[in-house]
Amino acid sequence: MSTAMNFGSKSFQPRPPDKGSFPLDHFGECKSFKEKFMKCLRDNNFENALCRNESKEYLECRMERQVHASNYWQLMAQEPLEKLGFGDLKDGKSDRD
């Protein structure tokens, strides 16, 4: 009994990642933001709600760098922060502060 595998019958079409995921920071352009965010998480027993400002800053850095680096793919399109769940953060502070 033989099973024929025809790999050429379907073609793979690459697509940008879904919202909420973005490419790795291969050049380390946002490394300082990432380290600040990770330190905040460690200092706050990994309660990410306490590190939202650091998360926002890292995301802003990644959006800014990715838009310039890959206009062809538009892997990390610029989005309003309100749309990404950071509408309550103004000037680096939460409304709850």
CA distance 48 to 38: 10
Q: What is the per-residue pLDDT across 18-41, written as a single tens digit (0 to 9) for each?
A: 665 656 777 888 999 999 999 999
CA distance 76 to 65: 9
pLDDT of residue 33: 94
Q: Is residue 96 domain-resident?
A: no
Q: Is residue 55 domain-resident?
A: yes
Q: Is residue 89 domain-resident?
A: no
71 is in which domain, residue-wise?
A: 27-84
**Total number of domains constituting the chain:** 1
Q: Is residue 32 domain-resident?
A: yes
Q: Is the pTM of this model over 0.85?
A: no
Per-residue pLDDT of the chain (97 residues; tens, 9 = 90+): 555 565 666 677 766 656 656 567 778 889 999 999 999 999 999 999 999 999 999 988 888 876 555 444 555 667 788 888 888 886 555 544 4
What are the distances in angstroms from CA 43 to CA 11, 27, 37, 58? 47, 26, 10, 17
Burial class of residue 38, CB neighbours in 10 A (0-12, 13-18, 19+): middle
Q: Is residue 78 domain-resident?
A: yes
